[in-house]
Chain A
Amino acid sequence: MSDQREPEGIVLTEAQKRSRRQRSIAIALALGVLVLLFFAVTIVKGPAVLNRPL
């Protein structure tokens, strides 16, 4: 009896894996930009970061 079993469930094709990886990188970059943006604005505003109109 062989140890090699057929993978169960959904197996992604190469194209699906590639596009998923691309999308994951894009999401990571977008989140990185968001973090940097909040960091930069916090530095720019200093303690005034808590003073917002309304």
Chain B
Amino acid sequence: MKGNLAASAIVVVLLIVAPYLAPLIHLDVSILSEVLLMAIAAMSVNLLLGYTGMLAFGNAAFFGLGAYGAGLSIKYFDVHFIVATIIGVVAAVIGALIIGPFLLRRRGIYFALLMIAFGQVFYFIAYRLTDVTGGEDGMNFPRPWFGFSAWHLQLRDQPFYFVMLAIFIAVLAAMWYLIRSPFGRTLVAIKQNELRVRYLGLNSDRFIFVALLISAAMAGLAGALYSLLIMFAFPLMLDWHQSGDFVLTVILGGAGTLWGPLVGSIVYVVGKDIISTITPAWQIFLGGLFVACVLAFPKGLLGTTLDLLARRGIRVEEEPAVVGTLESSRAK
């Protein structure tokens, strides 16, 4: 436990000094902010996929709803940064309340299919409501208010990164607490053996529904902040390809681990940034990353590392959902 806390502290210190080190390797600070936001989005998927065992292949819908919720409220009502973020989160949760009932009781790939399909509705709405959302081209909006004076945050600079870092740590702490709470333990139990959970008299559908709402709120938060970072919202944020990238990020880092999404996000965002400056055909490398991750690192980078440590006799205390237990009782 002490070791875990020390390791976490080291990571947090690294995240604090990161913006001062990034220029040394020619990384833009906004890339670091993107890493944190991608990590939050991946954590939203991790809650469903890694801890509850649900194939969440549609979280981009919530991510995009957050982005459009924040963007539209600034564009048309010029609201404060915090208000815009909250509106984005609320929009995402409303989206989950609408499609959630259709997903209830579905498991395995049926859940995945329905989530992909229903998530696409929001994509087409954003795509078609050209007058409001700008359609395919997306929409620009001005830099939001921040603080209580007319001081406008320099969004691409370090202050924004530190705001993001504070939010990221808060989300991470909430996640840590959530997974250790009775609610979180029940989610993990559902992943391991849902039938037993039901025999204990717990309504697993209700737990999954609440997990979906929490996941949507987190994805919406990430989407809202991301649109505020780039001052832009576009339909592809809602597309299922974006969902696929989230799932990749989770698996790449290590599903069912607290820090996995951050690890995956660092590799994904920084890798994409570097490769896209080298070649326009970066999509091949992204696809290759999917294939390599599935075939070579199914437990993710963090999961594989922890396995190696364990083999050398170094046991790191892990979360209740032990790394790599994606293979659960859930069969076809």
Instruction: State yes or no: do A and B come from one complex.
Output: no
Interface residues of B, Cβ cutoff 8 Å to A:
none
